[in-house]
Each structure stands twice: as structure tokens, then as C-alpha cells.
Amino acid sequence: MFDKSKNPVHVVGLRPGALTPPPGVEDILSRAQVLVAGRRLLDAAPRCCRPERAIPITGPLAPILDDIARERAAGRAVVVLADGDPLFFGLGKRLIEALGARFVVVHPNLCTLQMAAARVGLPWHDVRVVSLHGRSDFTPLFASLARFERIAVFTDPEHGPAVIAQALLERGVVDAQLLVLENLGTAGETVRRLRLEEAWDLPFSDLNLVLVERTAPPEIPLMLGIPDHYYFHEKNLITKLAVRATGLAMLGVMPDSVVWDLGAGCGSVAIEASHLAHEGRVFAVEREPRRAAMIRENVRRIGAWLVETVQGEMPESLVELPDPDRVFFGGGLGQDTRALAHACRRLKPGGRLVVHAILLDTLMRVKDYLHTHNWNFGITQLQASTADRLAGDMRLRAQNPVFVIWADKPAAPQPPLP
């Protein structure tokens, strides 16, 4: 609960389009000595608001938050204007993190998503929301598309509907469309339903909200334990289901993990890891162009849009990737340890490495590397057999035995206690 005696900062949401404040804040606005807002909202400030100082939000927030804290500490009445509900993908969260909840009072208004849902008759509690406002990472959109039928996307002038359509098409998404709502709450309000190809090069108002809607479910549900024959693969180069399940269990993928699947083959491990790392990032790295194309097609058929396919030699193709929390080697180790060394160096402290090896030489090479670098590791030999029909009955057909090597990268040393 906020403490009124501590001179809290008031954050006032303005109704989208009309830019009117919610009822009951006239006195707060009239007493404001410092007004903080973006240029558009400063220009729309109510007439009763006559501050001694206006702070425009035109760049990084950190110095502005410091300025707000200084003004509040000096006893001045600070009011921040925001769009809609300041705690729904708005400035309210950052202010509370910077000042503390006791020193921030939020006065919410209708948010853009509420208005958009009302316009198209859509229950918005079923809509997943992501924001590209001030962000250039489309990963949350790809991850949401794998799990939800509708995603609302908050945009900015650099990341609008055309850029969203381009990003989806480049990832291979075809069974989706955009519902673009522009200038909500104004006389120029429009609603357009567009195919991704239509939206690629159309002009749009800077004030828009985009609803991405799936038009068809994926051919194959994204889950753990997808049958091997559902995947496109060549020459039996696939991590078999039983071995895949063991490898993923030992990998210990968390919701926010960054995962590298190296020597990905048909991408089965990366695809099922993306079901677990739904708030992280997953990269399937494969040298052969034909197999990389198969990964992309498997991603499309299964709707595992979070998986990013990287085609190239290792370790060169790994240089631009973000540092991983989890690394899986299904292949591609070769006769030297360059790829292994690069992956181990980039793996975050406390991260987990899992290697599947069929050849004894590969097993010994990995074991010697881990032992030399003093990593805690273990080895499991796994051999699975699958039922096969024979002479009107069934037999068990053995698969190749696989060595599963797991290793934990030592955590970063802690500073000594004072």
C-alpha cells in the first residue's frame, strides 16, 4: 500500500484516441509541479495541468527515472502521463521498479487492447500479448504463435504491421493473418484484416495495434515425444524418440533457456526443446543445406516457430549466436574438438552440456576434454529396442547403442565474504 505522506508519484493513464484522463484525477493534475510524458501526451495534457516543469520522454528511460526520483525527493508533485493502463505494457512497471510501490500511485484508464477487443467482438482474456514497442526481438512473437491462436502485438513506428508480416513470412509462417486496428478512439479509426503478403508493403498509421491470428492449426502438434516417422529426415539421421527423450531430460531445459542444438540433423531435439524453452530461444545448427531445409520444413509442419535454423560450419556459424544455457551435440563433432571447445567456452556458468555419441572415439574425445577442464560429468549407455512385425508375430529390433554424456559447467566463483 502506498504512503500518501511520502509524496508519491502519480501515473495517470489517458484514454487511447481521446487522450482524456480517468475520473477523479483533476485535483492531482492541477497540483502537478512536474509533468512527465512523451511529446504526444504532453501536447494533449488537460488544461487544468499547468506544471512548472515538463520532462519529455524522448530517449532512454534511466536518466528520466533518476530525474523523477530527484524531483519527488525534493518534495515536488510529480505526475507522469501514460497511454491507457500504465501497468499493461506501460511505464508503470519501470516506475515501480525504480521508486518502489509505496511511492507510486497508478490511475488506470481503458487500454488499447480492451478497445481493440471491443471493436472486433473478441474476448481478450484469451489473447496472448507481446510488445515490440522499443524492441527489435521477435522471439516472443514466434514463441507465442506456437502456443496461442491470437497474439496482440504492441508496435512502434519502426516495428509496425509491415515489419511483423515480413518477419513472419521470413520465418516460414503461412497459416496466419493480421488484424490491424489504427487510430483507435479517433475519427480516423480503421480495422483491416490482411494476409501477410498484403501487409508486407502497405502504409500504416503509427498508432496501431496488431492482432496476429492463426488461420489453421499446425499439421503436427508440438509436444514431447513426437514419433520419429513424423519428421522429415534422410538416411535415418534422426535422434530416435527414446534417446531424444533421455537427452532432453538430461539437458534440463528451463522455460527461459537459450538452447543450442548442434549438428541438428532434422531438428527433432531443437523442436521438442522449444516446447520446454517457450520463453527462451532455440537454435538448430546444421552444416548440410539439405538437412537445414528439412529442419525448416519440420518447424513449419509442427509450428515450432521459436526454432531458428542456422546453416553453416561450426564453430564459425556459432559466433553470432547468444550465449547458451543448454548445449546439445547430436552430431558434428568431427575429428577435432574446435566446435566442442567453442560451445563449452560460450556455455554460461552453471549451464548443462549433453552429447550423444555412437563411436567410442567420440566418447573418449569428449570424456578427455571434460576431464582436462575439470567439469563434473557422467555417462549413460542407452540401448532401446522397438517392436517389429515378423512371421505373424512381433520381435524386438535393437537400435544402435548410444552413449549419453552430460556435463555441468562450473559456476562462476563467488567473491569472498567481507
Retrieve residue 230's grid coordinates.
Answer: 513424423
> What pLDDT shows up at residue 417?
55
The CATH number given to whatever domain includes residue 376 is: 3.40.50.150
> What pLDDT shows up at residue 317?
95
Specify the residue for cell string 560429468.
Answer: 377
Same domain as 368, residue 345: yes
pLDDT digits 0-9 by tens, 276-291 = 999 999 999 999 999 9
Retrieve residue 1's grid coordinates.
Answer: 500500500
> What pLDDT shows up at residue 5?
54
pLDDT digits 0-9 by tens, 63-101 = 999 999 999 999 999 999 999 999 998 899 999 999 999
Question: 415 lies in a domain?
Answer: no
> What pLDDT shows up at residue 3?
54
User: Residue 21 CB: number of other CB atoms within 10 A?
Assistant: 23
Number of domains in the chain: 3
Question: 129 lies in a domain?
Answer: yes
> What pLDDT shows up at residue 316?
95
Ordered per-residue pLDDT tens for the chain, 418 residues: 445 558 999 999 999 999 999 999 999 999 999 999 999 999 989 888 899 999 999 888 999 999 999 999 999 999 999 999 999 988 999 999 999 999 999 999 999 999 999 999 999 988 999 999 888 899 999 999 999 999 999 999 999 999 999 999 999 999 999 999 999 999 999 999 999 999 988 999 999 999 999 999 999 999 999 999 999 998 778 999 999 999 999 999 999 999 999 999 999 999 999 999 999 999 999 999 999 999 999 999 999 999 999 999 999 999 999 999 999 998 768 777 899 999 999 999 999 999 999 999 999 999 999 999 999 999 999 988 888 888 888 888 888 899 999 999 998 765 565 5
Distance, C-alpha 279 to centroid of its chain: 5
Q: Which helix (H) or strand (E) holds 154?
A: strand 150-154
Same domain as 285, residue 369: yes
Query: Could you give the CA distance from residue 351 to residue 347 in angstroms, rounded to a whole number?
Result: 6
> What pLDDT shows up at residue 47?
86
Same domain as 302, residue 160: no
> What pLDDT shows up at residue 123?
93
Same domain as 146, residue 94: no
Same domain as 241, residue 343: yes
At residue 102, φ and ψ (nearest 5 deg) are -65, -20
Same domain as 126, residue 73: no
The CATH number given to whatever domain includes residue 128 is: 3.30.950.10
ω into 315 cis (within 30 of 0): yes
| Cβ pair 180, 203 in contact under 8 A | no
Which domain range does residue 296 map to? Answer: 228-408
User: Residue 255 CB: number of other CB atoms within 10 A?
Assistant: 10
| Cβ pair 272, 238 in contact under 8 A | no
> What pLDDT shows up at residue 200?
85
Same domain as 143, residue 84: no
> What pLDDT shows up at residue 386?
86
> What pLDDT shows up at residue 102?
92
Name the domain boundary from 62, 80, 110.
Answer: 110
Which three-class secondary structure state does DSSP give residue 348? coil
> What pLDDT shows up at residue 414?
57
Same domain as 251, residue 392: yes
